[in-house]
Structure 1
Amino acid sequence: MKSNAAKITERAIARLKLKQLRLLIAVGAHRNLRNAAREMNISQPAATMILKELELDFEVTLFERTNRGVSPTVYGDTLIRHAKLILAQLAHAAQELDDLGEGRRGRVVVGTLLAASSHLLPRAIEALLEIRPDVSIKVVEGTNEVLMPALRAGEIDLVVGRLPTYRHRDDLVQDKLFDETIHAIVRPGHPLANKQTLTFEDLKPYPWIIPPLETTLRRQLDHFFVVQGQYEPPMAIESISYLTNRALTQSRDFIGIVPAHVAVEDISNGTLARLNWDVPFGNNPIGVSYRKEGRLSPASLALLEVLRTISSAL
C-alpha cells in the first residue's frame, strides 16, 4: 500500500507545472494575490484557481488570508522554499548546457565573505583553473544574511568564509577549513603603529572602521565594547569593503579589524601596520557551507576539494 507522500509525489509528477511554482513564489513574495497575478500576467481568478489546485494536489493549506493580503502557512513556506530550489536548479541546468555549448566545462557559483575574498578564494580559483581551465565561475560577495538564503534557494552552490556561530545551520553542511584570528590594523604613520605594548585604553581615543551589524564579527565587537564600560568610538564607519577600509585606514587615523590573512600582504609590504594589541575576540572558524539536500555539481565538488587542500596548507 502506497504512503500518502508517495501518492502526493505521483500527482505532483503528473500534474505539476512550472507556472504553478512561479505563481507560488510570487504570492509568497508579494503577500498579495492580485499583485502576484499581475506579475505573472494572469487574472486574479486564474491565480486563485492555480493555488487551489496546488492545495488539492498537496493536501495542505498554503496561504491564510489576512487584513493586508495573504500569508504563507508553514506548508506554504516549505513548498515555496522547494519551488525556489527547483527553479534555481533548472536555471543552473540551462546555464550549464549553455556553458557546454560555448566550450566551457561546468559551472560553479560561490559566495564569499570578507574572511575568504582576498586570499583563500582567489588561490582556490587559481588552483581550480589549473585542473579545469574551461570551468565557468561566478563569485558573489556579501554577508551571511545575504548569502545563506541564496545558498538555501539554490542560487549559490557554496559559501566560503567565517562560519556563523549560531544561525543558518539548518539544512546546511558546514565544513571547517581552519581557525582564523583577527588583527587590528592602522596606517604606518599612525600614532600607535610603532608602540610595543598597547592596551585597549590606548585605542579608545581613535576612530574605528567596524563590520556591519549583521556579521558575527560585529556582534563580538559590540559585546567587547559593552564589557569595556559601554565604550563608543568617537567616530565609526560601518563597512565590509576591504578596498574601502584600506583606503580610509591609509588616509586617516582609523583603527580597522580584519581577519589576519586578509591584510597579510598589505602588512608585509608596509601599506598597513598591525597594532601590537591582541584582539580578544573573533577567533572563529573559516569554512565552506553547502546544502545538505541535493548533489553538488562536479565543478562545485572540485572547488570544494581545492579549498580543503589549500586550507590545510594555510
Structure 2
Amino acid sequence: MKLTQISHLLAIADKGSLRAAARYLDVSQPQLTRSMQELEHDLGVTLFERSARGVVLTQAGERFLIRARTISSEVRRAHDEIAQLQGDTAGTLHVCMSTVPHIALFPYALKEFRARYPDVLMDLRDGVFPNAEPMLKNGTLDCYIGPAPDLPTNSDLIVEKLFDNTRVIMCRRGHPLIGATSLQELKDAEWATTSVTHKAYEELGPLFAQHALPAPRLVLRAHSTLTYVTAIAYSDLLLMLPVQWADFEITRNALDIIKVKEPLPAAPICIVRRADLPLTPAADYFCDMIRRASGHLLQRRS
C-alpha cells in the first residue's frame, strides 16, 4: 500500500468520479484506475462500484475510507510536527470551536498564535461536539473547543475542562415576554435550540422538568450561529445561549435578555482531543493560548 494510493482513494471518494478526481489530482484517468486496481488487489476487496453517476464506495470501501482519512491526517500531522520541532513556523492547524470560545477566547488566542506561528494556515470550523466528534476520531481535527458531554472512561478522547458556564434567555427587541422573571411565565413560549447536544430536547427539557414545568415547545433546531441569531431577531422565538452572548458586540444591540430568577447552568467549556495522538507544536501552542485566555476570563469574572 502506498501513500499515493491513499490520496487517490480520497480524491475519488470526495469528487465522486474517476474523471473529476483525475482532473483534481492532475493525473491521467488510466493512471488513477491502475492505482485503485493495485490497492484493491493488495486489500483483496472491491472498493468502488461504477454507477451512472460515477463511482460508489462498496461497504468495504466505506470502512477503508475511514482508515484512509486517518492515515492521511496523520501523515500531514507528522510532517507538520517534524518541521515545527526544527523551528519551522509553517503547517496547518485544524480546530473546531463552538460560539463561546469564538467570542470569549479566540480573539486573544489568535493574536498570540499568529505572532508565534505566522506561516501556519489556520483551518477553523464553527461547530459543536456532535459535529466535531467524528472528525476528532479520524484525525481530521487537531482539537475541539466548546461544550462537551460526559464521555465514558474508556473513551479515545481526552476532555480538559477550562471553565464552568451559565446561560441567559435571549429574544428580539420589544418581545412581549421581555418582562418575565421566571421560567413559569415562559412555559407557553416557542423555543429554538442549538445543536450542542445530539438530541434537541436535552438542551432545555431537563431544566424545565427540574422546575416541574411542562416540556418546552421546540419549533426550530439551528445548526449554525447565523440561523439561530436570525431566527430570534426576526420572530418571537426564545433561545438559551451562553452568557458570553450578552456582551457580544454583534448581538448586544439587536437582542434582549429575559432575566429569570432560576439559575441556567450551561455545559462547561472544554478542550477535546484524541488520547492516543500528540498535538503538533503549533496545535499545542494554540491550546495553551486558549487556556491563557480562559484564565483571563475567569479573572475578570472574579
Normalising by structure 1, we get a TM-score of: 0.68
Amino acid at match of 1:178: F
Is 1:53 the counterpart of 2:42 in the alignment? yes
SS in 1 for 2:158: strand
1:88 counterpart residue number:
73
Answer yes or no: is the 8 Å Cα contact 2:98–2:126 preserved in 1: yes
2:188 counterpart residue number:
205
CA change 1:39–1:135 in 2 (3 A) is closer
Amino acid at match of 2:255: L
Residue deviations 1:128-168 (CA, integer Å, cap 9, x gap): 22443443212112232322211222222111111123479
Distance 1:174 1:207 in 2: 33
Identity rate, percent: 23
Deviates more, 1:152-161 or 1:168-177: 168-177
Answer yes or no: is the 8 Å Cα contact 2:192–2:237 preserved in 1: yes
Is 1:125 the counterpart of 2:125 in the alignment? no
The runs of 5 or more residues in structure 1 that have no matched partner are: 1-15, 56-60
CA change 1:189–1:309 in 2 (3 A) is same
How far has the Cα of 1:265 moved from its partner? 2.9
SS in 1 for 2:217: coil
Distance 1:23 1:134 in 2: 27
What is the number of equivalent residue pairs in this alignment?
Answer: 277
How far has the Cα of 1:209 moved from its partner? 1.9
How far has the Cα of 1:106 moved from its partner? 3.9
Answer yes or no: is the 8 Å Cα contact 1:213–1:219 preserved in 2: no
Amino acid at match of 2:140: E
2:26 counterpart residue number:
none
**How do residues 12-23 of structure 1 correspond to structure 2 at under 5 angstroms?**
16-21=1-6
Work out which of the residue numbers 270, 284, 296 in structure 1 matches 2:279.
Answer: 296
Root mean square deviation of aligned Cα: 4.3
Distance 2:199 2:99 in 1: 12
Structure with greater Cα Rg: 1
CA change 1:211–1:168 in 2 (3 A) is farther
1:176 counterpart residue number:
161
How far has the Cα of 1:91 moved from its partner? 4.3
Answer yes or no: is the 8 Å Cα contact 2:166–2:266 preserved in 1: yes
**How do residues 272-283 of structure 1 correspond to structure 2 at under 5 angstroms?**
272-278=255-261, 282-283=265-266
How far has the Cα of 1:193 moved from its partner? 2.3
SS in 2 for 1:229: coil
How far has the Cα of 1:311 moved from its partner? 0.9
Amino acid at match of 2:168: H
How far has the Cα of 1:250 moved from its partner? 3.1
1:108 counterpart residue number:
93
